[in-house]
Amino acid sequence: MKILIVDDHAVLREGVRRLLSTIPGAEILEASTAHEALTVFRKAQPTVTVLDVNLNGSSGLELLQRLRGESKGARIVMFTMHSETSYASRAIRAGAMGYVSKSAAADELVTAVMKVASGENYLDRELASELAFAPGTSEDPFSNLTNREVEILRLLGEGKTLNQIASTFGIAYKTVANSCSRLKSKLGLERTADLIRVSLESKRR
């Protein structure tokens, strides 16, 4: 079984490598950027890709869609610090077969990879419980946002400035500013401060 780990933190990749190396017959591959991930994915055709939502210069959600574009049968587990149900729901809708929070027990990631490798879906236990009791998504104000808009909203909630967000994605400041204007329009807000408030509130849902 080939497992591709995509994360921009070397220390975390090493920890995940050691953990997943306990799976019998596992061959571990690594990538630290979206470009590297696409290159390795095309060449190695991994059985499962373990992908972080946060990547320097790219959105993990956008990379998820690109990998799915490369192969409709791509089996992807999102492994991320974001435990909010809104992120999990969006990743699943984009084609992820598994979603595990980095706060989950270590054995959950191993279980997720093995289940996804066999064609099953997997959510870590805490997220599965929250989603089961979450309200329907038809009135979800975030459902009409693009993946890039979701990422910008998240970074605003983390205290990043528009210049810092532009640098993170390698795009122009004006592009980020225009995205913020669209976000305010879609969410019925007037100020960037309101976007930050909404982002913080979404993390507590």
97-116 pLDDT tens trace: 999 888 888 888 999 999 99
Gyration radius from the chain CA atoms: 17
Q: Which domains does the chain have, with CATH numbers?
A: 2-132 (3.40.50.2300), 139-203 (1.10.10.10)
**Chain centroid to CA 32:** 14
Among residues 180, 129, 137, the alpha carbon closest in space to that of 171 is found at 180
**Chain centroid to CA 8:** 13
Q: Which of 128-132, 140-144, 164-168, 182-186 has the lowest mean pLDDT?
A: 128-132
Distance CA 96, CA 98 (A): 6
Q: What is the mean pLDDT of the chain?
A: 84
Distance CA 88, CA 205 (A): 12
Q: Which of 31-45, 129-143, 158-172, 185-199 has the lowest mean pLDDT?
A: 129-143
Looking at residue 133, its pLDDT comes to: 45
Looking at residue 57, its pLDDT comes to: 66
- Kindly indicate the confidence band of residue 48, based on its pLDDT and cuts at 50, 70 and 90: very high
Distance CA 120, CA 139 (A): 28
pTM: 0.69
Average of per-residue pLDDT across 113-140: 71
41 neighbors 67 (Cβ within 8 angstroms): yes
Question: Between these two residues, 156 and 135, which has the higher pLDDT value?
Answer: 156
